[in-house]
Amino acid sequence: MAAINTHYGELEDSYLFYNIAQKINAYLAEHPDRHLYRMGIGDVSLPLAPAVIAALHEAVDDQAEAGTFHGYMPECGDPALRQTIAGYYALRGVRLSADEIFVSSGASDELGDLLDMFSRSGSSLVMEPAYPAYVDANVMAGRKLIRLPSGDHNGFVPMPCEEAAADIIYICSPGNPTGAVFTRDQLQAWVDFANAHGSVIFFDAAYEAFIEDSDIPHSIFEMDGAGTCAIEICSLSKTAGFTGTRLGYTVIPKTLTRDGMNLNEMWVRNRTTKTNGVSYIIQKGAAAVFTEEGQRQIKENIAVYKKNAAVLTEALDALGIWYTGGKNAPYIWMKCPDGMGSWEFFDLLLEKVQVVGTPGAGFGACGEGYFRFSTFGDPEDTKEAAARLTALLR
Ligand code: PLP
């Protein structure tokens, strides 16, 4: 009989989005004519930028002619795209060589796959409330999980402490679900801590493009010493609407070593064994994101989401409700009013004002009593949701 990975049996069932869907379906069955204001989705709603669409069409045409046809692409990414992404980092003063950048099919794939390079008997630190994939990927791998809770006392930005000395430390900034960001000093403290303990930071920069405060770091590699303790995972999903198109990139510096092994070289070996690269067409589309025109267009889309965020945060400010996020992140993480629980507040919003968000309890125990709004929705719906929230909670 085939012995299987029994750690899958240790996964907790994720009821979050299932429960939300069940509640919505039940509500709509009873009130079929009601419109719902959906502020729960983590997916983008605007289409790809015209520059990306043009590049994708061109790439499809390339595949139609023998002279321009591309077969297998290099497993670690098209060298030209890797160079382009290195150029994007250079704009912020981060110097990387093209072969420190690995083109991927997205951040989720990488967040799990990177664990391949680490001993299964190691530990991982997850700061909660957390993006659920961090926890589940580590449970599947059979690794020891250390949960570091956070709360409004530290603005949902936990700082190093002795129990945080794990082999791998996940940091997400700007954060999902909290929208909280680490300042330069806070991130430097984690880099110093990781170097002192031999930990490796997995820095999830999926939302870096939403940062607007000039003193908030976009990349862990803006910190001194990150080259010896960090891997950065990034994605065009939210930056450029690639959730259904799929492209990300991972940075592994050549200076990152553990146990006499070089992690950049290990990852080359891993990718060349376990993948055959991202498709030519998608890499061509991704390259267009980094052109002047592409950057202007994706920023126009991000501005739409930011306007949604401003509409919601203005409403919360007027109501005197505590929250994080919204400014440098597409998520707003609010404290439920009157000591209400996350699900209780979910039910109240659905029943009374037909606004749908995400209960914070679904992102870890310390998320109880909080609620997440996404700003990726329709602008008119967002305005109406803010007005309804104000009328209900005033
Ligand atoms: N990391 C975080 C924090 C996310 O919120 C998400 C998606 O919602 C991802 C990673 C996954 O990104 P991708 O679409 O590139 O797999």
Instruction: Write down the domain spans for the chain.
Output: 14-43+294-393, 50-290
Q: Evaluate if residue 94 carries a pLDDT over 90.
A: yes
> What CATH number does domain 14-43+294-393 carry, 3.40.1080.10, 3.90.1150.10, 3.40.50.740, 3.20.20.30?
3.90.1150.10
Coil, strand, or helix at residue 169?
strand
Question: Distance from the CA of 61 to the center of ligand 1, in angstroms?
Answer: 30
CA atoms of 371 and 335, how far apart (whole Å): 6
- If you average pLDDT over residues 57-63, what whole number do you get? 98
> What pLDDT, on a 0 to 100 scale, did the predictor assign at position 130?
95
Position in ligand 1 atom list of the atom nearest CA 175:
3
The model's pLDDT over 194-204, given as tens digits with 9 standing for 90+, comes to: 999 999 999 99
Cα–Cα nearest to 152, from 371, 327, 374: 371
314: tokens are: 């203005």
- If you average pLDDT over residues 32-42, what whole number do you get? 93
Q: How confident is the model at residue 283 (pLDDT cuts 50, 70, 90)?
A: very high
- If you average pLDDT over residues 278-293, what whole number do you get? 98
Mean pLDDT of the chain: 97
> What pLDDT, on a 0 to 100 scale, did the predictor assign at position 49?
98
Work out the burial of residue 23: count CB atoms within 10 Å of its CB; fewer than 13 is exposed, 13-18 middle, 19 or more buried: middle
Q: Give the CATH number of domain 50-290.
A: 3.40.640.10
Q: 């940091």: which residue's tokens?
A: 171
Q: Is the dihedral of CA 189, 192, 198, 202 positive or negative?
A: positive
Q: Is 206 in the pocket of ligand 1 (CB under 6 A)?
A: yes
> What pLDDT, on a 0 to 100 scale, did the predictor assign at position 35?
96
Q: How confident is the model at residue 41 (pLDDT cuts 50, 70, 90)?
A: confident
In the chain, the N- to C-terminal Cα span, in Å, equals 63
What single-letter DSSP state applies at residue 39? -
The model's pLDDT over 125-134, given as tens digits with 9 standing for 90+, comes to: 999 999 999 9
Q: How confident is the model at residue 179 (pLDDT cuts 50, 70, 90)?
A: very high
Q: Evaluate if residue 217 carries a pLDDT over 80.
A: yes
CA atoms of 298 and 46, how far apart (whole Å): 10
Work out the burial of residue 24: count CB atoms within 10 Å of its CB; fewer than 13 is exposed, 13-18 middle, 19 or more buried: middle
Residue nearest to atom 8 of ligand 1 (CA): 42
Q: Evaluate if residue 37 carries a pLDDT over 80.
A: yes
Q: Evaluate if residue 306 carries a pLDDT over 90.
A: yes
What single-letter DSSP state applies at residue 193? H
Number of Cβ atoms within 10 Å of the Cβ of 98 = 17
Count H helices and E strands in the chain, helices first: 12, 15
Cβ–Cβ under 8 Å, residues 377 and 39: yes
Selected residue with higher pLDDT from 15 and 189: 189
311: tokens are: 């509409």
> What pLDDT, on a 0 to 100 scale, did the predictor assign at position 176?
97
Cα–Cα nearest to 172, from 333, 309, 291: 333
User: Can you say how many angstroms the Cα of residue 242 is from the centroid of all Cα atoms in its chain?
Assistant: 13
Which residue spans within 236-339 are E strands per DSSP? 248-251, 257-258, 261-262, 323-325, 331-335
Question: Distance from the CA of 107 to the center of ligand 1, in angstroms?
Answer: 5
CA atoms of 280 and 210, how far apart (whole Å): 27
Question: Distance from the CA of 2 to the center of ligand 1, in angstroms?
Answer: 33
Coil, strand, or helix at residue 17?
helix
Coil, strand, or helix at residue 204?
strand
CA atoms of 42 and 17, how far apart (whole Å): 11
The model's pLDDT over 10-25, given as tens digits with 9 standing for 90+, comes to: 998 777 888 899 999 9
pTM: predicted TM-score of the whole model, two decimal places: 0.97
Distances (CA, A) of 55 to 52, 221, 246, 284, 287: 5, 30, 15, 6, 8
> What pLDDT, on a 0 to 100 scale, did the predictor assign at position 209?
98
Selected residue with higher pLDDT from 42 and 37: 37
Q: 């998608």: which residue's tokens?
A: 282
Q: How confident is the model at residue 146 (pLDDT cuts 50, 70, 90)?
A: very high
Which residue among 109, 176, 182, 331 has the greatest number of ligand 1 atoms within 8 angstroms of its CB, and so is best to mutate?
176
- If you average pLDDT over residues 222-232, what whole number do you get? 98
CA atoms of 160 and 163, how far apart (whole Å): 8
Q: Is 178 in the pocket of ligand 1 (CB under 6 A)?
A: no
Q: How confident is the model at residue 31 (pLDDT cuts 50, 70, 90)?
A: very high
Q: Is 106 in the pocket of ligand 1 (CB under 6 A)?
A: yes
What single-letter DSSP state applies at residue 76? T
Cα–Cα nearest to 357, from 327, 328, 392: 392
Contacts with 121 (C-beta within 8 Å, 6 or more apart), sequence order: 143, 144
The one-letter amino acid code at 17 reads F
CA atoms of 228 and 99, how far apart (whole Å): 16
Same CATH fold, 50-290 and 14-43+294-393? Answer: no
Residue nearest to atom 5 of ligand 1 (CA): 176
DSSP bridge pairs for 231: 202
- If you average pLDDT over residues 309-319, what whole number do you get? 98
> What pLDDT, on a 0 to 100 scale, did the predictor assign at position 18?
86
